[in-house]
Structure 1
Amino acid sequence: MKLENECSFKETVFENADFSDLELTKGHFIKCNFKKTKFKEARLIKCSFIDCDFMQASLNASVGTGCAFTNCSFIKAGLFGAKFDNCKMAGSNFSEANMNGITIIEGDWSYANFRYNNLKKTDFRKVMLKEADFYGCNLEKAVFTGSDLTGAVLSKAKLYGADLRQAKITGVSFKDVDIKGVHIDVTQAFEITQSLGAIIG
């Protein structure tokens, strides 16, 4: 099946299709099945994917610009070297996905599920990450400068060398987080101390 600019599909099965090197602008997809589909080195511009399933799909080295992937499943998907520039990924599930070398430029990743992923050295600078779930993730040397982590889950995550300075951490519980070696600012030091139950003043 061929995908053309400004195409629109609903509840369509694209399983095992090969869209490698695809260049697509303003495509619109609702509840579509992209399981095991190849999007290697594809370039997607202002496309929207709502409630779509990308389980075990390959998006390695693909580029998404101004796209929306809301409430999508990327379980066990390949995102190696992928780039998401100002994309809305809210509510999507990246459990067991290969996100090594991923590039994220701002955008909204609120409520996303990253559980147990290896996100070492990932740059989340200025990314919206409200209530995102990083439980058990490797976030060593990750950069969160200027990001919004309000209500995010960091329990059991590896954070050594991570940079949280200037990030919003309101509502984040640090009771089960090892903050040794984490870069924080003065304001965050107070918030973290309070989340651990201390009374200041």
Structure 2
Amino acid sequence: MSDLNKILKPRFETILQEKDNIKDELINEGYLTNALIQNTSLDYFDKERIEINGCRFINVTFNEVSFKNIDLIDVIFENCDLSNVDFSDGSIHRVEFKECKLIGTNFGESNLQNVLFEKIMGRYLNFGYSKMKNINYNEASMQGAIFLECVLNKVAFKNCDLSSCEFTNTSLKNIDFRDNDISDILLTGKELRDAIVSPIQAVELARFLGVIIK
């Protein structure tokens, strides 16, 4: 069955400074570093090209937030609600999303490297036109997520619900889907070349290849 990749973990200073209100700092300075933010919310925030580096977010709700063109480096989100947050055109490195809500979150046209998505609720996540390297999806629920025209390099899915996900024009070479739910996925057929699937999955996917099974 599919194995997760060995990926680089976020790096932190020994002691993080706990902060309650980060909105003003992000607006005025354009960056946030070495901070611990927990049990709070960030509401109605829209600013491009900010940097968040070496931070940990625990039980934080992001409401009506846009982080377009963000540099997100060495960050952990735990039990956070990031639904509908806009990370498009972002650069996201050594980041972990653990037990977070990512419903409708937009990572379109982003560059993601060494990122973990673990036990997330990610229906309708958008990764369209993004580039991913060393990415792990572990026990993630991502029905209807969009992987349109992505570049996948060492991307692993383990025990994930990928039903109704779209992989159109995304090469799935060496992607192991065997212990994941890929029912009703959307693609043209060519994407499946050298993908790894179970015999039962192969029967369902045969429809994309014009095969008639009797």
Bin the TM-score by the shorter chain: 0.7 to 0.9
Partner of 1:22: 35
Q: Are residues 176 and 194 of structure 1, via their aligned partners in 2, closer, same or farther at CA, if it must alter by over 3 Å?
A: closer
User: Is contact 1:114-1:134 (8 Å) kept?
Assistant: yes
1:1-201 matches, cutoff 5 A: 4-5=19-20, 14=27, 16-196=29-209, 198-201=211-214
User: Can you give the 5+ residue segments of structure 2 that lack an aligned partner in the other structure?
Assistant: 1-17
User: Which structure is higher in RCO with an 8 Å CA cutoff and minimum separation 6?
Assistant: 2
Tell me how many residue pairs correspond in the alignment: 197
Measure how far apart 1:199 and its partner are.
Answer: 4.1
TM-score (norm 1): 0.87
User: Can you give the 5+ residue segments of structure 1 that lack an aligned partner in the other structure?
Assistant: none
3-state SS of the aligned residue for 1:189? helix
- The one-letter amino acid of 1:120's match is K
Root mean square deviation of aligned Cα: 2.4
- Identify the structure with the greater strand proportion: 2
* Separation in structure 2 between the aligned mates of residue 36 and residue 200 of structure 1, nearest angstrom: 52
User: Is contact 1:111-1:131 (8 Å) kept?
Assistant: yes
3-state SS of the aligned residue for 1:30? strand
- The one-letter amino acid of 1:112's match is L
User: Is contact 1:67-1:88 (8 Å) kept?
Assistant: yes
User: Is contact 1:16-1:36 (8 Å) kept?
Assistant: no
* Separation in structure 1 between the aligned mates of residue 176 and residue 153 of structure 2, nearest angstrom: 9
Measure how far apart 1:170 and its partner are.
Answer: 1.5
Measure how far apart 1:34 and its partner are.
Answer: 4.0
* Separation in structure 2 between the aligned mates of residue 177 and residue 123 of structure 1, nearest angstrom: 24
3-state SS of the aligned residue for 1:101? strand
3-state SS of the aligned residue for 2:97? strand
TM-score (norm 2): 0.82
- Identify the structure with the greater helix proportion: 2
User: Is contact 1:94-1:115 (8 Å) kept?
Assistant: yes
User: Is contact 2:110-2:129 (8 Å) kept?
Assistant: no
